[in-house]
Amino acid sequence: MTQNRTLLQRRIDAVPRGVATAMPVFAARALNSEVWDVDGRRYIDFAAGIAVLNVGHCHPRVVAAAQSQLSQFTHTAFQVMAYEPYIAVAERLNALAPIAGPVKSVLFSTGAEAVENAIKIARKATGRSAVVAFSGGFHGRSYMAMALTGKTTPYKRGFGPLPNEVYHLPFPISHEGIHVADSLAALKRLFKADVEADEIAAFIIEPVQGEGGFHAAPYELLAALREIADKNGILLIADEVQTGFGRTGKMFGIEHSGIQPDLMTVAKSLAGGMPLSAVIGRADVMDSVEPGGLGGTYAGSPAACAAALAVLDVMQDENLVARANSLGETVVARLHAMAARKDLRPIGHIRALGAMIGFDLLAARGSDEVDPEAANAVVQKAHALGLVLLGCGSLREAIRLLFPLTIPESQLEEGLNLLEQALAIAD
């Protein structure tokens, strides 16, 4: 019996099935865009830990920074005895955030935790309780984050009752027949039927939906939300958990629109695989919470902060924001070439911001009807071929590409060749 099979049985016996795992293999080691399983098989990584590893697996500068911090102290709890790396991370994030005026940041451990605290801060700052989110959005699996998430199965089904005063608007996806005007009309109806504008604490939106299918929020929608928020004293929260830190060809996804949020949630690629997240926001909004109202025992752990500082240095020194754009151009051109081939499964709706790239499996060439079963088959075939790949979308109809921004061109081409093989129509 292989080590993978042995570990799979141990996993089945020890871990609840509610924690899903995409592949029936187990990692042994990894470097940059390559992963080897416990049986020694090599994979090209087009998932990067779900957008966590923009600087790749085990970047030497990130590893060295974390190791150095671990040799000094592992934990004090920032609320008990503070430490400089936490402050340094906050300072770096404040300087990078596309928010005018004084900015402050508070650190946590996970994206969901950041979202929960962003809502806490928004409610305290405004004195209001209602929150508006979007269909197809994903904000996490904790209770408020789950309520904000715009998809029922598997995220909400059977877990109710959920926190109240959370409302959802349709997210514009043109090939599904939903446009910005539809979203804004739904918001007007919401104001009339369910909740007044002056009762809403915040709008929360992903600049590019992650689990929802890698659909970018139209700039027209973001501009309208900003205008409505300003007119009615509502805060605008950009959930940058998946879009942040160079993935979209800007440091943050919201920057493509020129719209400034009041609060931002970040996590994933902030610390190169170490658990770290943050809420970044206008200083006056952030300071609305009294001392003790924010924090967490492990929030902003020293080793994670050290890793994050190294990640930010690597992003700057290796020019990874610009590289996201060049890599994205290469991949999108290749995908369009694949879409034109009749010996491959029909694909379409190719979409990208930088290196945040998605496409749909179609029921027929040239059709807008999607084929979730085909998407799942492609993902499974890719895994068998040695390519780590993930699906997404409200129906799981889409494939998302999340290779590290540090991937060598030769390995990017190798991964695209494997993707092409996974798309091949069986004889």
Query: What tens digit of pLDDT does each residue of 358-390 get?
Result: 999 999 998 999 999 999 999 999 999 999 999
Whether residues 228 and 185 share a domain: the answer is yes
Nearest alpha-carbon partner for 21 in 40, 34, 4: 4
* Residue 153 confidence (pLDDT): 84
Mean pLDDT of 399-407: 98
* Residue 30 confidence (pLDDT): 98
* Residue 427 confidence (pLDDT): 56
Whether residues 39 and 153 share a domain: the answer is no
Of 80-84, 149-153, 236-240, 383-387, the poorest mean pLDDT is in 149-153
Whether residues 92 and 124 share a domain: the answer is yes
End of a domain among 317, 352, 376? 317
Whether residues 33 and 67 share a domain: the answer is no
- List beta partners, residue 352: 357
Whether residues 198 and 225 share a domain: the answer is yes
* Residue 376 confidence (pLDDT): 96
Contacts of 343 (CB under 8 A, 6+ apart): 424, 425
End of a domain among 283, 317, 351? 317
For the chain, give the percent of residues with pLDDT over 70.
100
- DSSP, residue by residue, 306-363: HHHHHHHHHHHHTTHHHHHHHHHHHHHHHHHHHHT-TTB--EEEEEEETTEEEEEEBS
Whether residues 123 and 24 share a domain: the answer is no
Residue 360 sits in a domain of what CATH number? 3.90.1150.10
Are 387 and 419 contacting, i.e. CB atoms less than 8 angstroms apart?
yes
| 24, two tokens | 């029936």
Mean pLDDT of 186-206: 97
Whether residues 338 and 361 share a domain: the answer is yes
Determine the angle formed by the axes of helices 60-70 and 302-317, rounding to 10 degrees: 150
Nearest alpha-carbon partner for 173 in 190, 192, 195, 150: 150
Nearest alpha-carbon partner for 281 in 128, 80, 107, 83: 107
What are residue 55's phi and psi, to 5 degrees? Answer: -95, 15
**How many contiguous H segments (helices) and E segments (strands) does the chain have?**
13, 15
pLDDT in tens, 160-177: 889 999 999 999 999 999
Mean pLDDT of 238-248: 98
**Domain range spanning residue 264?**
63-317
Number of domains into which the chain is organized? 2
> Residue 1 pLDDT > 80, yes or no?
no
Mean pLDDT of 196-224: 97
Mean pLDDT of 339-353: 96
End of a domain among 295, 317, 339? 317
Whether residues 354 and 310 share a domain: the answer is no
Mean pLDDT of 191-215: 96
What does the alpha-carbon distance between residue 126 and residue 133 come to, in Å, rounded to a whole number?
17
Q: What mean pLDDT, rounded, does the chain reach?
A: 96
Whether residues 258 and 143 share a domain: the answer is yes
> Residue 288 pLDDT > 70, yes or no?
yes
- List beta partners, residue 34: 31, 44
Whether residues 307 and 357 share a domain: the answer is no
Whether residues 226 and 362 share a domain: the answer is no
Residue 264 sits in a domain of what CATH number? 3.40.640.10
Whether residues 186 and 249 share a domain: the answer is yes
